[in-house]
Amino acid sequence: MKFQGKWIKSQEDFGDVAPTFVKEFSLPPNVGEATLTLTAFGVYEAILNGQRVGEYIFAPGWTSSKRLQYQSYDITSLLQEKNILSVTVGKGWYRSPLSGWFEESDTRRIKRAQPSGFAAVITVDGNQIVETNNRWQVHESPVRFSELYDGEFYDANISNYPLLPVEEYPGPNCSIAPQQGDIICEVDRLKSSKLITTPKGEIVVDFGQNLTGYVELSLPPCTKAGEEVVISFAEVLDTEGNFYTDNYRSAKSKLRYICRNGAQTYKPKFTFFGFRYIRLDKYPAACSVNSITAISVHSDMKRTGWLASSNPLLNQLFENIVWGQKGNFLDIPTDCPQRDERLGWTGDAQTFVKAASYNYDTERFFTKWLTDLALEQHGNGCVTHVIPDAMDGQGGSAAWADAATICPWQIYLTYGNKEILENQFESMRKWVDYITAHTTDANLWIGGTHFGDWLSLEPPPEEEPDRLQGSTRADFIASAFYANSTQLVIKAGKVLGLDVLAYESLYEGIVKAFRKKFTSYLSQTEHILALQFELASNPQAVADALAKKIASDNFSLQTGFVGTPYMLHVLTKYGHTELAYTLLLREEYPSWLYPITKGATTVWERWDSIKPNGDLQTANMNSFNHYAYGAVADWVYSVAAGIQTIEEYPGFARVRIAPMPDLRLGWLSGRVETRHGIVISKWQYTGKNIRYDIVTPSPAEIIIDGKTHGVDKGSHVFFGDI
Ligand code: BGC
């Protein structure tokens, strides 16, 4: 169906105030099936006869500025003979500055100064009975201000805003497409776990969990008109135990609500926050902590993966990884949900896509995001740093732009649906061609601007002590990812039956040139990439050297966003499983469990977002909800529990279950709901031996202690030696 609603906006400029568009219409009794279809330049909330239409919050979602999604809702049960439809439109992503730290271009500033507009049609039994046109009316709404980074100001004390005329206009200059991704909705409701009076004397509520969403206030009947609630949001308290918001940078993240008389509830309509704590800056005397509920919001993905073990810290890490995904999968994979960023950083998404697709069914989510990636991709193949593009076209960096190849390939492997490769192949190929056209040396990627092994602990070069990219050579990373992306283009091309001969010979050339150029590996990440992307000519020796290097680094990882996701994989692949577990189970800084010992409830951006002495890392780059390092979950699912899909049988059509136990854990279990059914792999030390409990819905290759058991589907128990 092609959506053909006309666009309307208020004749008068409402500035920051969200407009509410209104239409009254009558219908004969007992009409048939009715549908409301709409979209907005901004984010909308539709109310029909006093009832909210649908559960989708922040609709129509965030897409490339080249397209806008529309949604259709079944409104049959909401219709009466006399109807009032009102649609309030907030600024949303389309009218947000998007990235407070990035200087906005004039084009973007002008675009976002356009008023909020929207378009809708109602059909009954297929016949259009209502459409947006200049006979609608508009009034100011109680939403006096609402913006993604800065929060919301809602005045419930004024009503009866005068009705004003609207005008038709051509609407945004982009294509209008049906909803492609998962809808965004409210998911969890959390009550406060603690009320704190900080050393500064401020009243702070602790929800016990860092989350993305907002709070709902339920105010008692004695509430008086004009009383005010002002709430600030924070992820952590500082070393003294005071409310800390410096790491939000320019995002004001505040709620201001003016009450009306009597009992009332309020939750913001068009903004969200990343927070664990709220500070009650102002609140009516009768407001109690019990009257505040935190609500988490995210894309409505189905949970498909669970991990558990005998180690409570490890279990908390698994929880944190899931919360990190919930908090950052809000229509697009964001880097973080709290500061003036919340952008679809490609690098972060590619590190986490595998873990993400074990935890949740992310096929729709990534299909939509990758459609936008291809739309934002420049004609020359350059992939922008963030999708949707909010950085005026900047892009083309190694390991970030490679999301173009890594994400579609992973989604294909996990769900077994070729369509993602059909849709993305052109984009994958163009990305590799971009590198070929932009390197200074054939078959390597030399030059360009990169993020390196972002936030690595490996000491930066002396001349650049403040560099956040570690010591791994940028050309090394770029050339290694060039090889990987080329290989993925070859694999995807073969699945689609395409001729990829040119890429096969390019790949051969890259491997040769890489081996010639990089004869030694300096950092942990250089070893890891050479192994992961099969570039080392003597991989066992490189893996052994990596193991030695880790030992000399005091058995600690030193890697950043680029090396970390592959680290445990390459260790186990070359026989260093015990060391992989040593890293996983390490509690001292730096490690995955260290943040847990500091009370983390989500995955941190930095290994030392809170330093061992309790100090906080520098405020300008310190998110407490950044999922990238949570990529380790994919190793736990696929290696520790051993649940793997086989490339020739994607989507777990045939499963390989090859668990790798470690005596330091009494037991570990993984459970994955695949497209073919539930796979469970659990191992446990019984005292005498190791018991493996395996359940598989599809034919499985079960590999225990290196021996393959040619077992079919069903439940199986094996015993292995300690
Ligand atoms: C984001 C990262 C991102 C990076 C690029 C940061 O500001 O939060 O996660 O990948 O920029 O280096």
Residue 466 and residue 326 share a domain? yes
CATH of the domain at 46: 2.60.120.260
Q: Is the pTM of this model over 0.85?
A: yes
Peptide bond into 388 cis (omega under 30): yes
For position 575, which CATH number holds?
1.50.10.10
Choosing from 341, 363, 458, 526, the catalytic residue is: 341
pLDDT value for 508: 98
Q: Of all atoms in ligand 1, which is nearest to the CA of residue 468?
A: 12
**Ligand 1 geometric centre to CA of 145 (Å):** 28
Q: Are residues 345 and 216 in the same domain?
A: no
For residue 1, the model assigns a pLDDT of 57
**How confident is the model over 277-287, as a mean pLDDT?**
89
Ligand 1 contact, 348 CB (< 6 A): yes
Q: Is residue 451 a contact partner of residue 557, using CB atoms and an 8 Å limit?
A: no
Measure Cα distances from 649 to 99, 105, 409, 418 in Å.
42, 47, 13, 12
Burial class (CB in 10 A: 0-12, 13-18, 19+), 44: buried
In this predicted model, what pLDDT tens digit does every residue of 377-386 receive, in sequence order? 999 999 999 9
Looking at the fold, whether 550 and 444 belong to one and the same domain comes out as yes
Q: Please choose from 250, 332, 335, 391 the residue to mutate so as to test ligand 1's pocket, defined by most ligand atoms within 8 A of CB.
A: 335
Of 295, 375, 290, 291, residue with least CA distance to 332: 375
Distance of CA 355 to the CA centre of its chain: 12
Q: Whose CA is nearest to atom 4 of ligand 1?
A: 345
* Domain edge (last residue) among 640, 662, 692: 640
Q: Identify the DSSP state of 631.
A: G
For residue 221, give the DSSP letter: T
Spatial CA neighbour of 324 closest among 312, 311, 337: 337
Judge whether 542 lies within some domain.
yes
Query: Tokens representing 404?
Result: 């173009």
d(CA 657, CA 645): 9
- Please indicate whether residue 341 is annotated as part of the active site: yes
Q: Which amino acid appears at position 107 of this protein? A: T
* Mean of pLDDT values over 103-112: 79
Residue nearest to atom 8 of ligand 1 (CA): 335
Please identify, by atom number, the ligand 1 atom nearest to the C-alpha of residue 336: 8
Burial 381-415 (b: 16+ CB within 10 A, else e): bbbbbbbbbbbeeebbbbbbbbbbbbbbbbbbbbb
Q: Where is the domain boundary, 578, 606, 640?
A: 640
Is 605 marked active-site? yes
Find out whether the beta carbon of 341 lies less than 6 Å from any atom of ligand 1. yes
340 CB under 6 A from ligand 1? Answer: no
pLDDT at site 542: 98
Domain assignment present for 346: yes
d(CA 293, CA 190): 6
- CA gap 18, 153 in Å, rounded: 11
**Two tokens, residue 30:** 């007992």
Residues 203 and 312 in one domain: no
Residue 106: per-residue pLDDT: 81
Q: Which residue has the CA at smallest separation from atom 9 of ligand 1? A: 335
Q: Which residue would you say has higher pLDDT here, 227 or 721?
A: 227
Residues 631 and 654 in one domain: no
- The neighbour count for residue 283, using CB atoms within 10 Å, is 21
Q: Is the pLDDT of residue 182 over 80?
A: yes
221: in domain? yes
User: Tell me: the pLDDT tens digits for 338-367?
Assistant: 999 999 999 999 999 999 999 999 999 999
Residue 433 CA to residue 664 CA, distance in Å, equals 47
490 and 355 assigned to the same domain: yes
Residue 454 near ligand 1, beta carbon < 6 Å: yes
* Ligand 1 binding pocket includes 363 (Cβ within 6 Å): no
How remote is the CA of residue 455 from the centroid of ligand 1, in Å?
9
Q: Does one domain contain both 491 and 585?
A: yes
The total number of structural domains that make up the chain? 4
Q: What is the helix, strand, coil percentage profile of the chain, to 5?
A: 25, 30, 45
Q: Is residue 248 part of a domain?
A: yes
Does residue 150 lie in a domain region?
no
**Mean pLDDT, to the nearest integer, of 490-517?**
98
In this structure, is residue 2 part of a structural domain? no
> What CATH number corresponds to the domain at position 662?
2.60.420.10
Nearest CA to ligand 1 atom 12: 451
> Ligand 1 mean position to 335 CA, how many Å?
7
Ligand 1 atom 5: residue of nearest CA: 451
Decide: helix, strand or coil at residue 226: coil
Q: Decide if 548 is inside a domain.
A: yes
Is 344 close to ligand 1, i.e. is its CB under 6 Å away? no
Q: How far is the CA of 649 from the centre of ligand 1 (A)?
A: 35
Atom 2 of ligand 1, nearest CA residue: 335
Residue 632 sits in the same domain as residue 698: no
State which of 299, 332, 349 marks the end of a domain.
299
- Structure token digits, residue 58: 């922040």
Ligand 1 centroid to 561 CA: how many Å? 10
> Does any ligand 1 atom lie closer than 6 A to the CB of residue 608?
no
Tell whether 74 is covered by a domain.
yes
687 lies in the same domain as 635: no
Is 461 a residue whose pLDDT tops 80?
Answer: no
Average pLDDT over residues 59-64: 97
Provide the pLDDT for residue 464.
78
Domain that holds residue 324: 305-640
Q: Based on the domain organization, do 592 and 476 belong to the same domain?
A: yes
User: Which tokens go with 192?
Assistant: 């406060």
Do 654 and 710 belong together in one domain?
yes
DSSP state of 427: H
Q: Is 465 in the same domain as 488?
A: yes
The chain-wide mean pLDDT, for the chain, equals 95
Amino acid at 149: Y
pLDDT digits (tens, 9 = 90+) for 399-413: 999 999 999 999 999
Whole-number Å distance, alpha carbon 343 to ligand 1 midpoint, is: 9
How much distance in Å is there from the Cα of 155 to the middle of ligand 1?
36
CA dihedral 695, 698, 704, 708 (to 10 degrees): 150
